[in-house]
Amino acid sequence: MPDGEVDRVRDEAQPLGLVVRVDRVLRVSERDRHSRAQGHRGEATAVALLSHRPDRIVRVGLDDDAALHADVQVGQHVALAERGEEHLLGVPALGVPVERPVTAALDVVRVPGSRDQMRPRVGAVVARPGPAVPLPDDGDRIFVVMVHIDHRTLVAMADTLTSIPQSRALITEIPGPRSRALHERRAAVVARGVSLGAPVYAVRAHGGIIEDVDGNRFIDLTSGIGVVTVGHTDESVVAAARDELGRLTHTMFPTVPYEPYVRVAELLAEHTPGDFPKKSVIVTTGAEAVENAVKIARRYTRRTGVAVLDHAYHGRTNLTMAMTYKAHPYSAGFGPFASDVFRAPGSYPFRDGLTGPEAAARTIAHLEKVVGGENLACIVIEPIQGEGGFVIPADGYLAAIADWARDNGVVFVADEIQSGMARTGYWYAVDHEGVVPDLVTTAKGIAGGLPLAAVTGRAEIMDDAGPGGLGGTFGGNPVACAAAIAVYERIETGGLLERARAIGAVLLPELLRLQAKFPVIGDVRGRGAMLAIELVDPHTHAPDAAAVNAIIAFAIRHGVILLSAGSDGNVLRFLPNLATSDELLLDAIAVLEAGLESLG
Ligand SMILES: Cc1ncc(COP(=O)(O)O)c(C=O)c1O
């Protein structure tokens, strides 16, 4: 950087002083980031990634795989300059004191693939000063701060997307040293009952990729068990939550109400199945939603019985433990349990070979015998069983059960906590069959990762409970509501229902191809972006949980995060989020194929 330029940058940087503050968040995609910066704001002159935590070391780097990442102390003045083809990060060139030596990696920042569009010339980014602290090992939000010296504008935007290349990359053994160290800390203080899935610790995530504390990047086929359906750190969801956070963190809706809660209830009424007046109560977790659905149904029917199915999963609270099928690990030793819960066989086509009407007749006959329809307040069914192994009931099963429930005054509750919110290519999985439940539970995917859940249903049922009968301190938190509103918008304007179906169209044929090649795959099933394979002994069809565990362990070592399911633990479930590219999906399939091969 020529001396004159250094002076100019320093002069212009200084007035910026402590101004790195997010007052405007732009929603931009990776594709249009640079062109937007140029087209609407004049040529960007500097770009750097800064932590929003003023007391943290920040990571600086630009774009893509080849970008060099370097750590810069907060408080340093950072500048970019151009030298031929290279973009220089000229910390010392500014002549400001640095708190530690500048590493070689920090001296040059390349902007791969974007040179044509973006030519940073000279710029400066000034972070707020703070004490030097060790490198962060948790997930800081990253801002892309663009300083337009020429136009004297400063734009800050949330952009973790560009900070995490959408590709798999392994740079340490798995787990890496930092994950192992964290694991030791965890073992000392986190209860054993909190299960351990992937042995790596996430530091940030975007789109379909999770990056761990050691810098490894994984294709995430779990979406936090179907939660970040719109993608990790979706820009619009992050922006909406951040905006709301600056306005309202909490009032408690029943104490002092606010609009976002009402808006979420409107959106739920609009998008849940059924064309009749609907009302909602917004709560915080899935299990809480299920508990409330049962409460509401009991109150409305003045009955107490609750029917659930084999292989069901409804949560870990006292009532939902009683409703959940699998004793180990969910309920064994945690009793006594809530009473008046009756379990019936459902429909599991791969295992029972029954048609939908046959399986429904079996369910109904069982319930009539053990409890009697007239004693049931509700029947709670997952239209696609989640934890149970992505079991899709045979055609006609749900409709027959819904008819029987209606005829017997039993409230039909669809637990769509895992299968709802665009996951299967429809807003709700019951929509595939045109079945209309009386009550629907929604959670997981509704708020892009923030805790929010709801019971929505026929107004006359929902309104039976009197004021104060429903709710809770955190239910419908304004920040989570704002995120949920953004999620609805993302799904609608981003074509995400179609994307979920397209993901199914990419993955299903691949899984069927693998089934033809590997006899251990007994069944391939799923809808949209909710797919599974069931692994069995090819001769006896006995569940093969060991194969599932071996593949999950193989996959994580090769940069893919997978999840098991099934009452026998022998199902591999695939829950990619809807921001996952076909390229990533096929890359993950290649790893899965290698994993299946490794079984020998
Ligand atoms: C179908 C279903 N119901 C209920 C729950 C419980 O939700 P939460 O874990 O938010 O309490 C889950 C969670 O996996 C679920 O999949």
Residue 247 within a domain:
yes
Helix (H, G, I), strand (E, B) or coil at 562: coil
- Verify that 486 and 501 share a domain, yes or no: no
- Most informative mutation of 418, 423, 530 for ligand 1 (most atoms within 8 A of CB): 418
Residue 383 within a domain:
yes
CA of 271 to the centre of ligand 1 (A): 20
Residue 386 Cα: closest atom of ligand 1: 16
Residue 300's pLDDT is: 98
Q: Domain range for residue 98?
A: 3-158
Distances in whole angstroms, Cα of residue 331 to Cα of each of 167, 199, 313, 444, 492: 39, 25, 11, 22, 39
CA of 314 to the centre of ligand 1 (A): 5
Contacts of 261 (CB under 8 A, 6+ apart): 253, 282, 476, 478, 481
9-15 contact pairs (CB < 8 A, 24+): 9/79, 9/81, 9/94, 9/122, 9/123, 9/124, 9/149, 10/77, 10/94, 10/95, 10/96, 10/124, 12/124, 12/149, 13/77, 13/79, 13/94, 13/124, 13/125, 13/126, 14/126
Q: What are 547-559's pLDDT values in tens digits? A: 999 999 999 999 9
Residue 288 Cα: closest atom of ligand 1: 11
- Verify that 276 and 369 share a domain, yes or no: yes
Distances in whole angstroms, Cα of residue 270 to Cα of each of 265, 367, 418, 425, 449: 9, 33, 19, 17, 22
- Verify that 50 and 114 share a domain, yes or no: yes
| pTM (predicted TM-score) | 0.77
Residue 137's pLDDT is: 33
Residue 287 Cα: closest atom of ligand 1: 11
CA of 386 to the centre of ligand 1 (A): 8
Residue 170 within a domain:
no
Query: Nearest 5°: phi and psi at 165?
Result: -55, 140
Token pair 């009697």: residue: 372
- Verify that 528 and 386 share a domain, yes or no: no
- Most informative mutation of 228, 283, 284, 314 for ligand 1 (most atoms within 8 A of CB): 314
Question: Which of 158, 187, 202 finishes a domain?
Answer: 158
CA of 398 to the centre of ligand 1 (A): 20
Token pair 């970019």: residue: 80
d(C-alpha 593, C-alpha 586), whole Å: 10
Residue 416 Cα: closest atom of ligand 1: 1
- Verify that 136 and 183 share a domain, yes or no: no
Residue 235's pLDDT is: 83
Residue 141 within a domain:
yes
- Angle at CA of residue 480, ends 474 and 483, nearest 5°: 170
Residue 387 Cα: closest atom of ligand 1: 16
Question: Which of 108, 130, 158 finishes a domain?
Answer: 158
261, 253 Cβ separation under 8 angstroms:
yes
Determine how many CB atoms are found less than 10 A away from the CB of residue 324.
25
- Verify that 184 and 264 share a domain, yes or no: no
pLDDT tens for the chain, residues 1 to 600: 344 544 443 444 332 222 222 222 222 222 233 333 322 222 222 333 333 333 333 333 333 322 233 333 333 333 333 333 333 333 322 222 333 322 222 222 333 333 332 222 222 232 222 233 232 233 333 333 333 222 222 222 223 223 478 899 999 999 999 999 999 999 999 999 999 999 999 988 999 999 999 989 999 999 999 999 999 999 889 889 988 998 999 999 999 999 999 999 999 999 999 999 999 999 999 999 999 999 999 999 999 999 999 999 999 999 999 999 999 999 999 999 999 999 999 999 999 999 999 999 999 999 999 999 999 999 999 999 999 999 999 999 999 999 999 999 999 999 999 999 999 999 999 999 999 999 999 999 999 999 999 999 999 999 999 999 999 999 999 999 999 999 999 999 999 999 999 999 999 999 999 999 999 999 999 999 999 999 999 999 999 999 999 999 999 999 999 999 999 999 999 999 999 999 999 999 999 999 999 998
Residue 600's pLDDT is: 86
CATH code for the domain in which residue 207 is found: 3.90.1150.10
CA of 418 to the centre of ligand 1 (A): 7
Beta bridge partners of 490: none
Residue 441's pLDDT is: 98
Q: What are 120-148's pLDDT values in tens digits? A: 222 223 222 223 323 223 333 333 333 32
- Verify that 330 and 307 share a domain, yes or no: yes
- Verify that 421 and 461 share a domain, yes or no: yes
Token pair listed for 9? 């940058």
Residue 16 within a domain:
yes
Number of domains in the chain: 3
CA of 503 to the centre of ligand 1 (A): 23
Residue 229 within a domain:
no
d(C-alpha 343, C-alpha 172), whole Å: 47
Residue 228 within a domain:
no
Residue ranges around ligand 1 (CB below 6 Å): 225, 285-287, 290, 313-315, 382, 386-387, 415, 417-418, 443
Residue 11's pLDDT is: 42
- Verify that 202 and 324 share a domain, yes or no: no
- Verify that 76 and 26 share a domain, yes or no: yes
The enclosing H or E element of 532 equals strand 530-535
- Verify that 17 and 31 share a domain, yes or no: yes
d(C-alpha 518, C-alpha 497), whole Å: 31
CA of 490 to the centre of ligand 1 (A): 23
d(C-alpha 495, C-alpha 491), whole Å: 6
CA of 597 to the centre of ligand 1 (A): 33
CATH code for the domain in which residue 412 is found: 3.40.640.10
DSSP 196-210: --SSS-EEEEEBTEE
Question: Which of 125, 158, 191 finishes a domain?
Answer: 158
- Verify that 281 and 392 share a domain, yes or no: yes
